[in-house]
Each structure stands twice: as structure tokens, then as C-alpha cells.
């Protein structure tokens, strides 16, 4: 009986290996991405050259599936083709599916293929891209809700089997992680293959990847929130409490080159972070010479978080995100600023979805008058304090003690030192 037969298609022929096939030949065909099906024996001797972890996952399938313990199984392969870059070989990607095989199989006679007068590279490229596309579509099927179990994954191979139950969250995570390289087009392939894969990706293929990500994230977040609800019961009320932590803040944007503290102010605001994010926009509308001595002080953001009892020193109670737009020119008079007009790219994602801007609340002053220290000598965030040496002591930053106390202490030390010197001089004279 033959141990091998082929599945003949228009562009390529794939190998099918039966029980007792040469293990070395099976593995070589697998590494070349040229296998359609493997029908191994019960002891899986045909797979002895495969990675042990892969073989172990197939053994576990036999153990856990009652009918697979003694009955024959199949391993269906969807593979891309390897690539050769200079002296390096890039391994193909594989999607394997294992299941129960029929006892009687019809084996068709292999047919000779038509010899096309094409360069070898032009023959490989379409088949390689088609293999990658088929693998990515199989991953999408898993994420979209088909009943699949993930038996094994590594960087280039994923093994699945049919399940009576819906795909578990852990299996969804593994499938999504394996599919990320196809969605991001970050596969270990040549640049030419990456470009061809991107060019041949259909709109429905891209949309399916987006749906895959949204579906996975939504399912994962729902599971997390369900766990929190079961544990705390009142997640919604807790969320409202967290959003309403009293966090008053004052802020101002100034031009710190200007010495007059009234004229230096570009914008100021006071608000409370308890009411979500807020922002303010300032359009200075001035030109600046790049040779200016204090160019780094042109836009200085000063803030004061009013609650000193909220966190310990060193913790960060809030974050700042800023965006600076500028025009570089050698003729200042030609610059024209357009307020409230933004660059828009229409219909870029209309085929896939819509991008929604974050909503910011308006800043409504809680008081008609408030104070923020904008002194010129304020230290910049992250500025290194210079050490000072006084007598035999090292000082970092400003002393927390009153200057009068320091002055009295220094005078006392000097008097003690002078008394000691006088005593030594007196002893020398008496001798």
C-alpha cells in the first residue's frame, strides 16, 4: 500500500501522508509548507522529527477525546511557503487542524501538472501570499465565534480542534495573539512578501481583522467586569465614587522670558479633575528667533494641585498631555494663524468604521477670584537641585528651618570655634 499521495491543484500539488510514511520525509515536507493532510498511526511515529511540544499536544488530544484514543485521526495543514534571503531561511507559517479521520479513504491517482514557463520566484509568490491569507482567515473564524479549541501555539504554528463548547477566553487570547502578526503585517517574511500580502488584503479581510480585535476586547472586558460585579456587587456606584475624587487644580501658561508678571500670562484656568478631563487652547500668535537666549522658557506651564493630603510626596495625582504647533519661517510677517481650524482627512476609515474624538468638558470657574504663584524663580519639573556646602554639612535644596534659626546656629558655632582658638593661643603664651 502506498504511504503517500498528492492533492493536485491548479498552481501546486500537496502531499498527503498515510500511516507508516517516512518520518524524515514528512518533516521535510512540513518545513517546506507542502503538506495537505497527515494520517498518522496511533503512536505518531510519523511525527517523531517534529518539535516534542507539538507532538505532545496531539497526544493530549488523543487522551482527552474519547473516540480519538484508538480511532485514526487526521492533521489538516494550511501553510505558507518558506523564503530565502541571502543565506537565511525564513520558516513558513502553519495552521493545523486535528480531528477524527474516516476509516476508509479514497486515494486518487496523482496527476502531472502543466509546466508553466515562468520564473521560479513568480510561481512561489502567489502561493506564499495565498497561504498567509488562508491562515489569517482561519484565525478570524476562531475569533468570530466558531467552536474551536487551541491545542498548541508557537511563533509560526497554531494547532486547533473542534469543540462542543464555545471558544474559551484563554483560547481567544492565544488565537488573537497569533493573529496579531497578520493584522499588523509584522510577520517574519521578506519586505516583498509583506507588501504583496498588504496589497492583496481585501476590504472584507481588513474589516474582519478590526471586528476580530473589537470582539476579543469586548469579550475580555465583559468577563473582567463580570468578575468585579460578582466580587463587589456595586461596581457602578464605585465607579461614580472614583470619578468624583475632589481634585482641584490651578494652571497657567506663561511666556517666562517676560519679566513683568502681568504681561507674561498667555492663559490661565482653574478646574477640578473630578469632572473628568478638561483642556484649554492658547494661540500666542508671536514670532520667535531661534537664537533667543531663553527659548526654552517661551511656553512655561505652571500648575498647582491644591490637595496636598491626597497622595504622598513622589506620587503623581494627574497627567498632562500637550500639543505644540509652530511654523518655521525666515519671514515672520508671512505667518497667519487660523484659530479653530483643524486638518481633516475625510473618509479614510469609512470602509471600516468611524473614529470618535474624546469629549472634554468646559472649564467653569468655581470661584470668581483665585491665586496661583507664577514667580520667575519657580523650579522646573525634574530640575536637579544643586548641593550646597556649609561648614561640615551638605545641603540639598532650600532648608525647611527658618533662616533666623540657621543664622543663630552659625553664629553659635563660630563663637565656639573662636573660643577654642583663643584657648589654644592662651596655652601657648603661658608655656
pLDDT at residue 49, as a whole number:
94
**With contact defined as beta carbons under 8 Å apart, do 171 and 179 qualify?**
no
pTM of this structure: 0.49
**Confidence at residue 343, expressed as pLDDT on a 0 to 100 scale:** 56
Q: C-alpha cell of 187?
A: 510577520
Confidence of residue 205 (pLDDT cuts 50, 70, 90): low
For residue 358, what pLDDT band results from cuts at 50, 70 and 90?
very low
How does pLDDT run across 34-58, given as a tens digit for each residue?
A: 999 999 998 899 999 999 999 999 9
Give per-residue burial for 198-220: e unless 16+ CB within 10 Å, then b. Answer: eeebeeeeeebbebbeebbeebe
Reported as a single tens digit per residue, the pLDDT across 58-67 is 998 888 775 6
d(CA 320, CA 315): 14
**160 φ, ψ (degrees, to nearest 5):** -130, 165
> Edge to edge, what strands does the sheet with 94-100 contain?
4-8, 13-17, 35-38, 73-79, 94-100, 157-162, 148-153
Residue 383 has pLDDT above 70, yes or no: no
Q: Calculate what percentage of the chain has a pLDDT beyond 90.
A: 16
Q: Does residue 285 register a pLDDT over 60? A: yes
Grid cell locating 7: 492533492
130-151 pLDDT per residue, tens: 899 899 889 888 887 778 999 9
Domain parsing of the chain, residue ranges: 4-227, 247-383, 387-422
CA–CA dist 116, 113 (Å, integer): 9
- Measured CA to CA in angstroms, residue 51 lies from 30, 313, 357 at distances of 12, 53, 48
Q: What is the DSSP string of 99-162?
A: EEPPSS---PPP-PPP-----HHHHHHHHHHHHHHHHHHHHHHHHTT--EEEEEE-SSEEEEEE
The Cα 271–Cα 265 span in angstroms is: 18
At 206-256, the pLDDT tens digits run: 555 555 555 555 554 455 445 444 444 444 444 444 456 788 888 888 888
Mean pLDDT, residues 55-82? 85
Residues 31 and 378: their CA atoms lie apart, in Å, by 65
Query: 136, 179 in Cβ contact below 8 A?
Result: yes
- Where are the extended beta strands (E) located within 229-278? 248-254, 265-272
Beta bridge partners of 17: 4, 38
91-95, 318-322, 354-358, 360-364: range with highest mean pLDDT: 91-95
Beta-carbon contacts of 313 under 8 Å, excluding residues fewer than 6 positions away, are: none
Nearest to 81 by CA among 11, 22, 21: 11
Mean pLDDT of 289-299: 82
As beta bridge partners, residue 8 has 13
The residue among 179, 124, 120, 117 whose CA lies nearest residue 148 is 179
Amino acid at each position: 500500500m502506498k504511504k503517500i499521495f498528492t492533492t493536485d491543484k491548479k498552481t501546486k500539488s500537496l502531499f498527503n501522508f498515510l500511516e507508516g510514511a517516512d518520518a524524515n520525509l514528512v518533516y521535510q515536507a512540513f518545513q517546506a509548507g507542502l503538506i495537505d493532510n497527515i494520517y498518522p498511526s496511533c503512536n505518531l511515529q510519523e511525527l517523531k522529527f517534529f518539535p516534542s511540544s507539538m507532538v505532545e499536544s496531539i497526544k493530549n488530544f488523543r487522551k482527552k477525546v474519547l473516540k480519538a484514543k484508538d480511532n485514526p485521526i487526521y492533521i489538516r495543514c494550511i501553510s505558507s511557503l518558506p523564503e530565502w534571503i541571502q543565506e537565511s531561511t525564513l520558516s513558513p507559517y502553519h495552521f493545523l487542524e486535528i480531528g477524527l479521520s474516516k476509516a476508509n479513504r479514497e486515494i486518487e491517482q496523482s496527476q502531472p501538472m502543466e509546466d508553466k514557463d515562468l520564473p521560479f520566484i513568480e510561481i512561489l509568490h502567489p502561493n506564499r501570499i495565498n497561504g498567509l491569507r488562508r491562515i489569517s482567515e482561519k484565525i478570524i473564524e476562531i475569533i468570530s465565534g466558531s467552536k474551536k479549541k487551541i491545542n498548541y501555539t508557537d511563533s509560526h504554528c497554531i494547532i486547533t480542534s473542534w469543540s462542543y463548547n464555545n471558544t474559551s477566553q484563554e483560547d481567544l487570547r492565544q488565537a488573537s495573539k497569533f493573529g496579531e502578526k497578520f493584522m499588523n503585517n509584522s510577520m517574519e517574511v521578506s519586505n516583498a512578501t509583506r507588501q504583496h500580502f498588504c496589497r492583496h488584503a481585501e476590504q472584507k479581510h481588513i474589516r474582519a481583522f478590526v471586528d476580530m480585535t473589537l470582539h476579543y476586547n469586548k469579550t475580555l472586558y465583559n468577563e473582567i467586569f463580570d468578575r468585579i460585579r460578582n466580587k463587589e456587587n456595586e461596581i457602578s456606584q464605585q465607579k461614580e465614587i472614583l470619578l468624583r475624587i475632589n481634585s482641584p487644580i490651578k494652571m497657567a501658561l506663561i511666556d517666562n522670558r517676560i519679566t513683568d508678571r502681568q504681561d507674561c500670562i498667555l492663559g490661565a484656568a482653574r478646574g477640578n479633575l473630578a469632572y473628568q478631563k478638561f483642556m484649554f487652547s492658547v494661540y500666542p500668535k508671536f514670532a520667535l528667533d531661534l537664537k533667543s537666549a531663553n527659548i526654552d522658557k517661551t511656553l512655561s506651564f505652571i500648575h498647582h494641585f491644591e490637595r496636598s493630603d491626597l497622595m504622598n510626596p513622589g506620587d503623581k495625582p494627574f497627567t498632562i498631555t500637550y500639543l505644540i504647533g509652530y511654523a518655521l519661517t525666515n519671514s515672520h510677517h508671512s505667518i497667519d494663524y487660523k484659530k479653530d481650524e483643524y486638518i481633516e482627512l475625510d473618509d479614510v476609515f469609512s470602509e471600516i468604521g468611524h473614529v470618535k474624538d474624546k469629549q472634554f468638558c468646559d472649564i467653569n470657574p468655581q470661584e470668581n477670584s483665585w491665586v496661583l504663584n507664577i514667580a520667575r524663580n519657580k523650579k522646573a519639573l525634574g530640575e536637579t537641585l544643586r548641593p550646597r556646602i556649609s561648614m561640615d554639612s551638605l545641603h540639598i535644596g532650600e532648608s525647611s528651618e527658618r533662616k533666623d534659626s540657621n543664622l543663630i546656629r552659625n553664629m553659635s558655632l563660630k563663637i565656639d570655634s573662636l573660643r577654642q582658638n583663643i584657648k589654644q593661643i592662651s596655652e601657648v603664651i603661658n608655656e
